[in-house]
Amino acid sequence: MYLYFQTTSMTKLKNKKVLITGGGSGIGLLMAEYALEKGADEVILWDISEENLANALRSLSGKGKASGQVVDVSNVKSVKDQAQSLIEEHSAPDILINNAGIVVGKAFIEHSHEDIERTMSINTNALMHVTKAFLPPMKDKGGHIVNIASAAGFVSNPDMSVYAASKWAVVGWSESLRLELERDFKNMHVTTVAPYYIDTGMFAGVTTNLFLPMLNPDKVAKKIIRGIERNRVFVKMPLMVRLTPFLKGILPVRWFDFIAGKIFGVHKTMSTFKGRTKS
């Protein structure tokens, strides 16, 4: 039997190499900006969109060293090849932020098999494959792995069944990974991020209210960077998301359903969902 405790040391971004998947836009790009402001030696952006990458690198020009690669994180071979190339030519990242994700907002019966495969591949499997590719060299020098999950990883929601499944899986895997690395490697850290809807366009059209408003992307990015610096186990936002596991633990299921669905309106949020507009 063993006992271990989370270290109180800080993760410094200064002079560190930071890799962010889905870094071509949204909070991925914002986190890149703040990492450079904190003195990161380099930020490396992975994104499936060549256009997004080009725009992102232009916006980061003059703020610090930034580079990008077009990578489809749902393609395991692409992930392995790009990771190996990066490790051989430079080195593994000190901080890995698994940020890429998609959402299909509709009833499960309306999902295609392709919807299911792609959602799970990008939102869940990709995080494991990317981390697996970089973990061997990261563990030798110490590092920090950040996994972007969601409030949907704690609360079931109509018209988000597959998305919720992908994020519940991320929470379970990320927590298990944290426990393993805390046990086996002193200088490895894992942070799991669980935000409510973020106003980046990905969840355009969702219905929110004063109790659970849409989150500001800039504030979310800052909180994640601060969570990395402080080696937070979880970064949850807003307050109601932080309280959710406690409420689910003490309330009967039907009571929790009533509070989440009727009082806070969570169960109706996706009824007006439109999603990101494609150009």
pLDDT at 34 over 90: yes
pLDDT in tens, 82-107: 999 999 988 999 999 999 999 999 99
CATH topology of domain 17-272: Rossmann fold (3.40.50)
Closest among 42, 78, 81 to 60, alpha carbons compared: 42
Cα 163 from Cα 95, distance rounded (Å)? 25
Q: Give the Cβ contact number of residue 234 at 10 Å.
A: 17
Cα 52 from Cα 141, distance rounded (Å)? 31
pLDDT at 7 over 90: no
Q: Which residue in the list 2, 4, 163, 197 is annotated as catalytic?
A: 163
Catalytic residue status for 163: yes
pLDDT at 23 over 60: yes
The pTM (predicted TM-score) of the whole model is 0.93
pLDDT at 222 over 80: yes
Instruction: Domain ranges for the chain, please list them.
Output: 17-272
Q: What per-residue confidence (pLDDT) applies to 122? A: 98
pLDDT in tens, 140-158: 889 999 999 999 999 989 9
